[in-house]
């Protein structure tokens, strides 16, 4: 039986503790600040062109670096000189982030899905297999989570659910059948979905966490509706 206690009744830092002015999201500085306050961390990973794993949310670098290129088209060497949001912070390698955190707090790792399912996951588990701290993995791609279920059944895995998809049919399919196909240990959904019938059905027996809580009003409203909240501005909203 998997122990998901580290995911319950917790506030997780969304992409570390950042302000996107002096401290960019998913940066070493954001993770160091979360560690200083003792908060668990949620982060995102992508695979570079040369097969290294970087910690960044977006498929395209423009929002965070001003460079209009896809992450999958660049090598880790090319990314070494790229800085985040006019700071000195660089896009970190996943292995360096794991070394920094080193089991001090639990982490949730989101696999992004700009590649064929299995490519990023195969490289990520090489690092996670040797990681000594508490962690869970999640993705919006049920194919990604199916890969984890098949190849690393001992991993705690989660399926991400959007507030809405492109149309009503797609929304129904992903909420109902996506969860069924992924067979996750937990669901991570948009915070507004606590009354969604598919989420409520899953929540009867399993853990559901919500993203992203950004203000005190939503925190007070939702803290008893979910097992876990993924938050920004944690110190201001509690």
Distance (Å, whole) CA 74 – CA 132? 30
- 177 vs 214 pLDDT, higher one: 214
> What is the Cβ-side half-sphere exposure of residue 90, based on CA atoms within 13 angstroms?
13
Local structure of residue 108 (DSSP, 8 states): E
pLDDT of residue 160: 97
pLDDT band at 72 (very low <50, low <70, confident <90, very high): very high
pLDDT band at 83 (very low <50, low <70, confident <90, very high): very high
Dihedral of alpha carbons 133, 123, 59, 136, sign: negative
pLDDT of residue 172: 77
**Pairing, β 107-111 against β 53-55:** unpaired
Q: Is the pLDDT reported for residue 79 higher than 80? A: yes
Ordered by where they begin, the domains of the chain are: 5-237 (3.20.20.190)
pLDDT of residue 9: 77
Q: Is the pLDDT reported for residue 166 higher than 80? A: no
**Structure tokens, 149:** 């279920």
Can you tell me the mean pLDDT for 159-173? 84
Contact 186, 212 (CB under 8 A): no
Q: What is the pLDDT of residues 47-68, one digit of tens each?
A: 999 999 999 999 999 999 999 9
The verdict on pTM exceeding 0.85 is yes
**Structure tokens, 237:** 């909203």
Q: What is the pLDDT of residues 129-147, one digit of tens each?
A: 999 999 999 999 999 999 9
pLDDT of residue 192: 96
Q: What is the pLDDT of residues 86-100, one digit of tens each?
A: 999 999 999 999 999
Distance (Å, whole) CA 204 – CA 45? 30
Q: Which stretches within the chain are classed as H helix?
A: 28-37, 62-65, 76-79, 94-101, 119-128, 142-151, 168-172, 179-182, 197-203, 216-222, 234-237
pLDDT band at 173 (very low <50, low <70, confident <90, very high): confident
> What is the Cβ-side half-sphere exposure of residue 20, based on CA atoms within 13 angstroms?
8
pLDDT of residue 236: 87
Distance (Å, whole) CA 62 – CA 237? 29
């Amino acid at each position: 039986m998997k122990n998901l206690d580290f995911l319950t009744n917790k506030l997780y830092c969304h992409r570390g503790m950042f302000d996107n002015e002096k401290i960019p999201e998913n940066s070493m500085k954001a993770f160091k600040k979360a560690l200083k306050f003792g908060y668990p961390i949620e982060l995102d990973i992508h695979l570079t062109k040369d097969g290294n794993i970087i910690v960044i949310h977006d498929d395209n670098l423009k929002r965070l670096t001003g460079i209009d290129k896809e992450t999958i088209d660049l090598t880790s060497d090319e990314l070494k000189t790229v800085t985040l949001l006019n700071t000195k912070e660089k896009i970190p390698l996943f292995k360096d982030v794991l070394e920094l955190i080193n089991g001090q707090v639990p982490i949730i790792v989101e696999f992004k899905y700009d590649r064929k399912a299995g490519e990023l996951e195969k490289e990520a588990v090489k690092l996670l297999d040797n990681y000594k701290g508490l962690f869970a993995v999640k993705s919006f791609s049920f194919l990604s989570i199916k890969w984890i279920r098949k190849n690393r059944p001992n991993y705690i895995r989660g399926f991400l659910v959007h507030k809405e998809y492109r149309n009503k049919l797609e929304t129904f399919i992903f909420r109902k059948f996506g969860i069924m196909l992924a067979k996750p240990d937990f669901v991570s959904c948009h915070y507004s979905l606590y009354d969604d019938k598919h989420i409520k059905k899953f929540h009867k027996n399993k853990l559901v966490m919500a993203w992203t809580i950004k203000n005190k009003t939503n925190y007070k409203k939702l803290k008893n509706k979910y097992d876990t909240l993924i938050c920004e501005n944690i110190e201001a909203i509690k």
